[in-house]
Amino acid sequence: MSTRVTIERMGAGGDGIAATTAGSVYVPFSLPGEIANVALENGRATMMALLDASPERIDPACRHFEECGGCALQHWQDGAYQDWKRSLVQEALGGRGLQFKLDPLVPCAPQTRRRAVFAVRTSDHGAVLGFNRHQSHELIDITECAVTVPEIVSRLDDLREVVAVLGGGMKPFKLTVTATASGLDITASGCGAPDAAKRHALTNLVLKKGFARLSFEGEIVVEPRKPLVHFGKVPVYLPPGGFLQATVEAEETMAALVAAHLAKAKKSIDLFCGSGTFAFRIAEKSSVHAVESDQMAIDALDRGARHVQGLKPVSVERRDLFRRPFLARELAPFTGLVFDPPRAGAEAQAIEIAKSNVPKVAAVSCNPVTLGRDLSILVKGGYKIDRVVPIDQFLWSSHVEAVALLSKK
């Protein structure tokens, strides 16, 4: 039995929201103002028939849209989609009562995502590689992807050969593929450690296909070439599974904002630094202390700093900033600070930054909700938000990056 609904607005997760006698329901792949017949189940709806389409509805860029679950919003006109994505930052921060200037959204082009996390498995008909259907564990095999760089998409069949050798039975596992300057970096997880025979076969396959590296759960199986990325002027060998911003363009935009904001700092600190995304750009103008909990990331950053001339001093420290944040008194020597935590944000660290007198702070986040919480802490501690820049590096999804620039006199 179907129910007729009118989509009133878009939810933060990218689904349309409609009001019914049973309460609000979420309708995937719908748009505001549309009228549809839907099948309801536990507050969610499946569109059975679109009765009145929005004038903002467009043809999707990918044949797998609505099927593979990788994208949620390919059917929405760019302008309306970008306004909505910007509003996610506006509402998350404005809901905290924060005063700030919100820049226009920095857009994301198709085919620029340099890392893809594929769901994969073997089957009676060969290897399956793709994404899970929306709100489902069903794995959809793909032949194209409108958001991922061509260097990865053009190698889907070669990647299926890797899946076939890894095996793992019918149980799904993950294959994370990153495009680097040295070739594709491939990391498998959830399929069980390969035995000696599989390692031999995988080594031959990686060499034959010209991949840069294959690793399993952080352990390198074969590495013909070290995967190379550039952070500003510095070449860095990416550790297995190492964090990397989703697109080069978004990374460069964020790094330019951070570097300009901290340009007059004599000594800066980069918290949750990864392998040097911001640290190396900052080091072109000032000394920087880079802090990260992941040892391999810190080692990669340290190696990069040691082999490049022309930078200001770069020091590194391994430290779990969730368990042991930098205290306000430890921040006293620094005149610039950037922090880029995981989606959970950096509440404990923000409390200590708020107590400090670091004049310039840049906060980078992929989660507007936790960013709003952390900025509220900083503002209560005397910081002023100079500017917030929303950046769309997660095209056609409900995720949005933001850079907040703050000052304290």
Annotated binding site for S-adenosyl-L-methionine: 245, 272, 292, 340
Do 39 and 18 touch, CB atoms closer than 8 A? no
Annotated binding site: 245, 272, 292, 340
Rounded Cα distance, 292 and 281, in Å = 17
Q: What are phi and psi of 147, to 5 degrees?
A: -105, -20
- Which tokens sit at 354? 């708020």
| Residues belonging to the chain | 409
Rounded Cα distance, 99 and 96, in Å = 9
Task: Assess whether 366 carries a catalytic annotation.
Answer: yes
Query: Could you write out the DSSP letters of every residue in 318-370?
Result: E--TTTSPPPTTTTTT-SEEEE---TT--HHHHHHHHHS--SEEEEEES-HHH
Name which of 242, 241, 244, 255 is nearest 364 in CA terms. 255
Rounded Cα distance, 246 and 260, in Å = 22
User: Active-site positions?
Assistant: 366
